[in-house]
Amino acid sequence: MLPIVLHHGLFGFGDFKLGPLQMSYFRGIDTAIAARGHRLIVPKVHPTGSIALRAGQLKKILLEQSLGQKVIIIAHSMGGLDARHMIAHLGMADRVAALVTISTPHRGSPYADWALKNVANRIGLLQFMKSLHIDSGAFADLTTERCRCFNEVTPNAPQVKYYSISASRPWTRVPLWAIHAWRVVNAAEGPNDGLVSISSAIWGQHLATWPADHWHTINKRFVLELDHKTGDIVPYYLRMLDQISTLG
């Protein structure tokens, strides 16, 4: 079986261990996929770096850990853009069998536009991060204009299979802190998961729209589900793997 790469998004991390404390970005998803016999590669790249920086770090990790095998990349959120950059621009097309993006803002997020204009620039957050020598390239890279430019110069590699999963929930079923973002994105692009719209998340062969918010797609659940429960997201990942295995 091909190794599977679980690649994190903005503000993300790989597997985190501190003494007895263990945390996984893909909560429970990693163990379920490993139980099927796949060897896992769980990269850790810069949490707020640019797409180009993160893509270079991802390539280095894959070359070190893939043992010469082709891999299937499952990438959440910004991680999907890193993977596309790596495949198209860093000579890794022959090392990737398939890329599955989960709630990736392929066309950017209107909320990134709003946040850059109304928060980051007004309070000088990016300049402050720069003064501390902290790479903050991700924030600009996730805007709709940057992603439009990114797509113009980042074609799909013909030998790689591209799949996507989107997610959507009404505003009443996203975390409280995401309601404003949901409304900004909904006004601009329609149904969304609290950060990324369905229309932005579709890339390559669209497999499904999951009934989840952006964090629930990696099994981080912050909303009490009283009815129409999605519950544990792990079965959705396993069905997705079954689905892509039948697509050839």
Q: Of the candidates 23, 28, 1, 3, which has an alpha carbon nearest to the alpha carbon of residue 12?
A: 23
- Residue-wise pLDDT for 173-232, tens only, equals 999 999 999 999 999 999 999 999 999 999 999 999 999 999 999 999 999 998 889 999
User: Rounded to an integer, what distance in angstroms lies between the CA atom of residue 236 and that of residue 80?
Assistant: 18
- Residue-wise pLDDT for 62-108, tens only, equals 999 999 999 999 999 999 999 999 999 999 999 999 999 999 999 99
Rounded to 10 deg, the angle between the 51-65 and 79-89 helix axes is 70
> Domains (ranges, CATH) in the chain?
4-247 (3.40.50.1820)
Entry pTM: 0.92
Edge-to-edge, what's the strand order for the sheet holding 71-76? 40-41, 4-7, 71-76, 96-102, 161-167, 205-210
